[in-house]
Structure 1
Amino acid sequence: MKYLVMVLGSQADYEAMSGNPSEGSPAWGEKDMREMFAFMESVNNDLAESGEMVEGHGLGEPAGTRAVLPGPDGRPVVTDGPYGETKEQLAGYWVLDCESLERVTEIAARIGLCPQPEGAPVYPVLIRPIMDDAGC
């Protein structure tokens, strides 16, 4: 079965990774970034080797978000992010093909151990089943 595994972050987290800390998001140093990238590369390599990786990507900062909604006259209403009412946003994802929910949960638990600076916010790793043509 295929699953979407998602990691979250905030605009403040992206800024902290660029060396601009804020309350609750300490600055990431070069060593912190190297450790995080090495960890994610290891996860990705293991998932590719096991055949479970379908695809995965990190996403740009929330400030680059654009929302498109239908306006009352049917023309699109476009707004740019970040959005203050949404604290955490999608920061990256994997599409995985795993034999069970238990297996994808093991993978999510590993992803949750990604190194980061002390005091950085901890977000859950989210798992959602991907619906197929049969509805599951």
Structure 2
Amino acid sequence: MKYLVMIQGTQADYEAQGGKGSADAPAWSEQDIQAMYAHMSAINDDLAETGEIVDGNGLAEPAKARHVELGADGKPVITDGPYGETKEVLAGYWVLDCANVERVTEIAERILQCPGPEGTKQFPVVIRPILDGGGDV
């Protein structure tokens, strides 16, 4: 069964990882960044070894996002980010092919153990089954 595993963040989190902390997100040091990368790389390596990883990536900061929606007149309205009304955004994801939801939950628990500076907000890891071609999970 395939699952989408998502991690969330905010624009402030991206800025903090760049060294610009705020009340909502403490600044990350180079050691903090390297520890995070080492943690995530170890997870990715293990998933590659077990054959469970299909795809996975971190995403660019919300400030580099583009929002496309239909306006009242039915024409597209395009807005470049960040968006003041948006709190959390998708920061990264994995597409995993795991035997069951218990296994993917174990992986999500490991993702939550990612190191970071004290005071960093911990967002939940979201797991969503990917529908097969027939709409069944």
TM-score, length-scaled by structure 2: 0.96
Q: Where does structure 1 lack aligned partners over 5 or more consecutive residues?
A: none
Corresponding residue pairs, total = 136
Where does residue 16 of structure 1 map in the other structure? 16
Where does residue 86 of structure 2 map in the other structure? 86
Where does residue 65 of structure 1 map in the other structure? 65
Letter in 2 for 1:113: Q
Residue by residue, what CA displacement relative to the aligned partner does 1:8-36 show, whole Å, maximum 9, x if unpaired? 00000000001000002110000000000
Alpha-carbon distance in 2 for matches of 1:98, 1:134: 19
- Give the drift of 1:71: 2.4
Residue by residue, what CA displacement relative to the aligned partner does 1:83-133 show, whole Å, maximum 9, x if unpaired? 222211000000000000000000000001000001111100000000111
RMSD over aligned CA atoms reads: 0.9
- Give the drift of 1:81: 1.4
What secondary structure, in the 3-state scheme, does the structure 2 residue paired with 1:127 have? strand
- Give the drift of 1:82: 1.4
What secondary structure, in the 3-state scheme, does the structure 1 residue paired with 2:128 have? strand
Alpha-carbon distance in 2 for matches of 1:58, 1:23: 24
Percent identity of the aligned residues?
62
Alpha-carbon distance in 2 for matches of 1:27, 1:20: 5
Alpha-carbon distance in 2 for matches of 1:85, 1:132: 33
Alpha-carbon distance in 1 for matches of 2:124, 2:30: 24
TM-score, length-scaled by structure 1: 0.97
Alpha-carbon distance in 1 for matches of 2:98, 2:19: 36
Residue by residue, what CA displacement relative to the aligned partner does 1:67-86 show, whole Å, maximum 9, x if unpaired? 11122333211011112222
Where does residue 34 of structure 1 map in the other structure? 34
